[in-house]
Amino acid sequence: MQRSRIAVTGASGLIGSALVRSLTADGHEVVRLVRRAARGADEVCWDPEGRYVDAAGLAGCDAVVNLAGAGIGDHRWTQEYKRRIRESRVLGTAALAEAVAALDEPPRVLVNGSAIGIYGDTGDRVADEGTPPGEGFLPSLCVEWEEATAPAREAGVRTVFARTGLVVARGGGAWGRLFPLFKAGLGGRLGDGRQYWSFISLHDEVAALRHLLATDGLSGPFNLTAPQPLTNREITAAMGRVLHRPTAFAVPAPVLRAVLGEMAGDVLGSQRVVPKRLLESGFTFAFPGIEDTIRAA
C-alpha cells in the first residue's frame, strides 16, 4: 500500500490505537477524528451522536477507517446504555458517510467497523459472510450500523464491513478482563463451556484491516476471526496451559445472568464464525491457533 492519508475514528480504542501505530510506523499520514476542537492538521472535529463532521478536514484522505462506538461490554445493558451503543455507531457512521459523499474527491475506500454479533447465536452451525443476520439487539444493531454507510456506497466509495470477533489482547476488550483472572488462578469456563468463541489476535486484526484497505476490489462483509473457532471450554484449557494456572473455577449461567443481565446472552451464546472471504482474498494469519494467539497477547 502506497503512503496515504488515512482518517481514523475510534483511534484511542484498543483496535484503533494499534492500527494507528501500525500505519504511522510505515509512514502513512493518519488523521484522527476527535470529539473536541481539533488541535492540529492531524485532527478533525466530529460529534457522532450529533451527526456532525468537519468535512473539510477529510479533504485529501485516501481512505477512512470507522471504528468508533461505545463499548459493548463496558456497562450493564440498560435501555439508556443500549441507546448509547446504537447511536454512537449508527448516527456516527451516517454522519461520516454523508461527509465522505459530499467531498469533491471522496476517499477511495471506507472500512467500517462491524461485528460477528450480526449472526446472533449460531450454536454449532458454522457461519460465514453469506449467513443471514440473527435476531436480537446485537444483530439488529449491526444491520443498522452497516446500512448507515449507504451515502458513501452510493457515492462510489468502495465500502468494506469489518465484522470483528473477540480480539485477544492484554490491554482491553474481553481478554483484558480475562487475563488477570487466569493469572490469579481464578479462571474457568463460563456456563457449560460448550459455546463457540470466534477469536482473533490483535496483530491479525490490524493486519486484516490493512489488507482490506490496500486490496482494490474488496467490498462488503468480511469476518475478522481466526480460521478455527473453539469452544469456551477449549479456550479455557488453552489459557491454563499457556499461563500455567489451574482452571477449576466455573461461572454458572444463572450467576452470569444475574450479574450481566441481558449481556449474559452474548457471553453464553455460541458463534462459530469463519473468515471465508478473508481467506479467499489471500490474507494469511500470523496467529491462527489459540495458544499462539494467547502468547502473542
Domains detected in the chain: 5-166+199-225+276-283 (3.40.50.720)
pLDDT digits (tens, 9 = 90+) for 239-268: 999 999 988 877 665 655 665 555 555 566
Note whether 129 and 223 are within 8 A (CB).
Answer: yes
| pLDDT grade for 269, boundaries at 50, 70 and 90 | confident
Confidence of residue 149 (pLDDT cuts 50, 70, 90): very high
> Distance of CA 253 to CAs 50, 180, 200, 268, 272, Å?
38, 21, 25, 7, 19
Other C-beta atoms closer than 10 Å to the C-beta of 181 total 14
At 190, the pLDDT band (50, 70, 90 cuts) reads confident
**173 vs 66, residue with greater confidence:** 66
| CB-CB contact of 157 with 107 (8 Å) | yes
Cβ neighbours, 10 Å, residue 217: 6
Looking at residue 265, its pLDDT comes to 59
Look at residues 195, 247, 201 and name the one whose alpha carbon lies nearest to residue 224. 201
- State how far the Cα of 66 lies from the Cα of 69, in Å rounded to an integer: 9
Mind listing the pLDDT tens digit for each residue in 86-99? Answer: 999 999 999 999 99
Whole-number Å distance between alpha carbons of 10 and 25: 18
